[in-house]
Copies of this chain bind each other. A is one copy, B any other.
């Protein structure tokens, strides 16, 4: 009997629960609106049960979720959502809850949504064939996942690339503009989708070309920080902001100006690239995560 795997992508606006194959192919998926754990998790429970009764040979479940969350399998609080603006989720343990549903029938693997996304891009997408990649998503916020030498980089908790420092651009009219509640000079505060919307008070297709130049200026600086931090083989940009047609080449230009020929790098059109799996990366990565061998 062919093995199947369950995948959950837990996002801030919606959750996706899917069943798929070892090759990362999604067979069926169900979307539910994100609410609080007491409303949402019983729905998840029901969907898992339905998939279990239809697909008899489920071998694993992978979760890619918003953070901050404890993703260290050897920690006593593995699976616990940590303090954040999503207050309904703080203190809820998603791994414990799902373990109660599935028992020990198959293993659960948990990671952040950006980590499952980078894993998908590494396995099947824009980073395929490369050992060291960084995936940056520029959407509501800015987040990122990193693979070094084929392994997802975790550290004590997990990287939060969006909170690296960027310098106010000379193109920027409002010098101290930032939508980050904590940092005046982080990439997320200056260049997230929310930052763009607030700065220009317009929808993306109504924004002037200056908007995209400023955006690229900050993302180019972020790409420079990423290069200094990880020396990756490529940097993959995804997320809603990357839907704009000119942004990718503008980021390359800004990056080039900031790096100023310091590093000898691969050609920029193969070094700074767009996500291939786009908004499917997180879910597909969760599916691929589910087929790992249990760590001993």
Q: Which residues of A contact B (CB under 8 A)?
A: 82-83, 132, 148-149, 151, 153-168, 182-183, 185-186, 221, 224-226, 228-233, 258-264
B261 touches A182 (CB 8 A): yes
A232→B164 CA distance, assembly (Å): 14
A149→B230 CA distance, assembly (Å): 15
Q: Identify the interface centre among A157, A168, A226: most chain B CB within 10 Å of its CB.
A: A157
B260 touches A183 (CB 8 A): yes
User: Which of B185, B232, B264 lies in contact with A155, CB distance below 8 A?
Assistant: B232
A165→B262 CA distance, assembly (Å): 14
Q: Can you pick out 16 interface pairs between chain A and chain B where the beta carbons lie within 8 Å of each other?
A: A83-B264, A148-B153, A149-B151, A155-B233, A157-B263, A159-B230, A160-B228, A162-B228, A163-B224, A163-B228, A165-B166, A165-B221, A165-B224, A182-B261, A183-B258, A226-B229
Q: Which residue of B lies closest to A260 (CB)?
A: B182
Q: Identify the interface centre among A162, A167, A168: most chain B CB within 10 Å of its CB.
A: A167
Q: 5 closest pairs, A vs B, by CB?
A: A155-B231, A182-B262, A229-B229, A163-B228, A132-B155
- Chain B hits for A156, CB < 8 A: 132, 231-233
A206 CB to closest chain B CB (Å) equals 30
Main secondary structure on chain A at its contact with chain B? loop
Q: Which residue of B lies closest to A229 (CB)?
A: B229
Extra pairs beyond A149-B154, A159-B229 (20, CB < 8 Å): A132-B156, A148-B148, A148-B153, A148-B155, A149-B151, A155-B230, A156-B232, A157-B231, A157-B263, A160-B231, A162-B228, A163-B224, A164-B165, A164-B224, A165-B166, A165-B225, A167-B167, A182-B259, A182-B260, A186-B228
- Chain B hits for A162, CB < 8 A: 228
Known contacts A83-B264, A261-B182; is-contact A231 B154 (Cβ 8 Å): yes
Copies of this subunit: 2
A163→B260 CA distance, assembly (Å): 12
B264 touches A161 (CB 8 A): no
- Chain B hits for A168, CB < 8 A: 167
A264→B90 CA distance, assembly (Å): 13
A229 touches B164 (CB 8 A): yes
Q: Which residue of B lies closest to A163 (CB)?
A: B228
A148→B154 CA distance, assembly (Å): 8
Known contacts A166-B165, A225-B165, A261-B182; is-contact A158 B231 (Cβ 8 Å): yes
A229 touches B161 (CB 8 A): yes
- Chain B hits for A228, CB < 8 A: 159-164, 186
A151 CB to closest chain B CB (Å) equals 7
- Chain B hits for A161, CB < 8 A: 228-229
- Chain B hits for A226, CB < 8 A: 229
- Chain B hits for A259, CB < 8 A: 182
